[in-house]
Amino acid sequence: MHSDDQLVLANYFQHLKIEKRMSEHTLKNYLRDIKHLQNYCSTNNLQHWRDIHPTDIRNHIASRHRKGLGSSSLQRELSAIRSFFNYLLKKRLLESNPAYHIRAPKQKRKLPKVLDVDQVAGLLETCSDSALEIRDLAMFELFYSSGLRLSELAALNIADLDFTEPSLQVKKGKGSKQRNLPVGSKAVSAIKKWLAYRPETTDPAIFTSNKGFRISQRSIQLRLDRWGKKIGLPEHVHPHMLRHSFASHLLESSQDIRAVQELLGHSNISTTQIYTHLDFQHLAEVYDKTHPRAKKKIE
């Protein structure tokens, strides 16, 4: 790469550090990603940034993909490259961004792991041996009852609950979005049972430690993992697995993806669609019962 172009790159990183106030971690990632592009340029005798065309970006990303990089890593590299070329555009060193229309290969979505209905029943209906286990069961019931995220459950205060409806208000959802959620009768009973044991404290949290402080997200994860091992579940159980199970079981029963989207607090329906992993037999039964031309007359 020509020395003038090296200087442009150095100025770009100064711009990110001083004007954009980018973190050291992100700066290192950007530098590494642009270095990979520089290596491609050296291999292909491209001396100037203006010599790079969309075909070069596409070939570079394809080469990185062949080396085993996944979709998310390639998307990050493309983001760094686009950002750099946008900087060159603003400096009038280029007339177009060669990375603008290039997309990384799509990553196959993994289906979320869920517990079946019997496993959930075993998890929630095992008797507790202490006040903390009573609290834990109330948390787990609420996860499954309302499809909460870990951060949302940890942030809940007593004032967020309404036992008359019954419902709860999520005030600190993803993206700072609020939403109201129904609470099932089993969860209501479990919470009321816990509140009778909850230590006297000025902390507004529903779920507290035995010292009266709000329980941390990490503690909730560890308590659920401990409970799963205690009752003999075959795999690691984490809070999001209960959220997955909530969504999956609700979809299997209702087939109403829009309602589940609202309950989960997803901005886009595409995010909710990962939970639509209904088994083919169930879909086939629905098809046979409802499609007007599904059934064949046998003569």
Instruction: List residues with catalytic annotation.
Output: 149, 174, 240, 243, 266, 275
C-alpha 1/C-alpha 37 separation (Å) is 11
Gap between the Cα atoms of 28 and 158, Å rounded: 43
Helical H runs in the chain? 3-14, 24-43, 54-66, 71-90, 117-125, 131-146, 150-155, 185-195, 217-230, 239-254, 257-264, 269-272, 280-290
Phi then psi for residue 37, to 5 deg, are -65, -40
Take residue 180 and report the two structure tokens written for it.
């109201």
Instruction: Please state the φ and ψ torsions of residue 238, each to the nearest 5 degrees.
Output: -125, 160
Supply the DSSP symbol for 166. Answer: T
d(CA 270, CA 273) in angstroms, rounded, equals 5
